[in-house]
Amino acid sequence: MAWRIPVAVPDVGPAEIEAVREVAASGWITQGAKVRELEGAFARLCGTEHAVATTSGTAALHVTLAALGVGPGDEVITTPLSCIASANPILFTGARPVFGDVDPETYNLEVGGIEKCLTPRTRAILPVHLFGHPLDLDPILELGRAHGLPVIEDACQATGARYKGRAVAGLGAAGCFSLYANKIVTAGEGGMIVTNDAPLAERLRAIRNFGQIPGQHFLHAFLGGNAKMTDLQAAVGCAQMAKLEGYITRRRTNVAALNAELSRLSRMIERLPAERPYARSVYFGYHVLFREARICARADTALRAAGIETRPFFSHIPAQAPYREMGYRIEDTPVAADLITRGLYVTNSPALTAEERTLIVDTLVGVAREEGLL
């Protein structure tokens, strides 16, 4: 189906095309100067000493966990409400994800939920800045320090977001980004890890390249694989990073405009996108929490009938088949289990037009009228 308003519209224009052409013409297309340029851009964004590019956000998380020594018998506390890629890398190391329930307003992990999950086997904390809204990080970082646990920020949806004026991802032991096609900036595929820990950065660079220390060919100090980004991808990413603030401004403008129109639907909609005082959100998607699961399903049908592509609130990860088979239970994280039934999101692309915003609003207003909620 060709959507009138698809859920993601990558901005690939003349700058990205020319950047790829230059790399292709250079004769060097694998990891090289453009990857280093993109790493420098992320390090500057996050105020970190180091950035390490990878093939994907999933790989960034996996490489980070491996570099921190997470392995069989360990537990890593993370969120049950996210793309499943937030939790799978924990399993890839042989460790076990432990899911703390989320805050019902921000949809993020908060320190109280993490604290309940601590055991002697806890090895790390991996919270997610869901929908580009920063976690309340200081209490989480304090808890991590008190227990000797590294905090890995999953900022895959949050490039450019800020917590108390500081860029996310650079505040814990390491932070990870995704550069997939629907993310705040894209390279088609790709990931990035940022850190201020020089020994950790050395391990990250080695593990992404078969465990080989840079410059020491065929000498492998660590167990690693191939998680290297290409210069072709990095060229697109570099062009995108130059537009980041413009992307964020337009996303924030979209949210303000949609919220102004949809706030009158309070009998149908429980919560529209918002940000806490400590946060500057980059609003990955325009997410809506309905008061009833039935109304959410009705709105989803209406939006799709109007040609507006939708997505649920990602996954309730413990409810996914591989996790159920491992013994995870839906009822252990009831807030997340409830949110997944009542929430959906549509695009918040920087390219979203005023006419497209009007179609989204009119469709949801129509649902409210039909339900007698307006």
Q: Which residues are catalytic?
A: 183
Q: Which two tokens stand for residue 101?
A: 């329930």
Burial 51-86 (b: 16+ CB within 10 A, else e): bbbbbbbbbbbbbbbbbbebeeebbbbbbbbbbebb
Pick from 183, 236, 179: nearest CA to 59: 179
Phi, psi torsion values for 90, nearest 5 degrees: -65, -45
As a residue count, the chain comes to 374
CA 193 – CA 176 distance, rounded (Å): 5
Pick from 196, 91, 66, 76: nearest CA to 128: 76
Three-class DSSP category at 101:
coil
Contact 46, 244 (CB under 8 A): no
DSSP β-ladder status, 50-54 and 96-99: unpaired
CA 15 – CA 21 distance, rounded (Å): 10
Pick from 335, 317, 334: nearest CA to 326: 317
Pick from 315, 307, 294: nearest CA to 347: 307
| Paired residues of 53 in beta bridges | 192
- In the chain, the largest separation of any two C-alpha atoms, in whole Å, equals 69
What amino acid occupies position 75? E
Sign of the Cα torsion 252, 256, 257, 261 reads positive
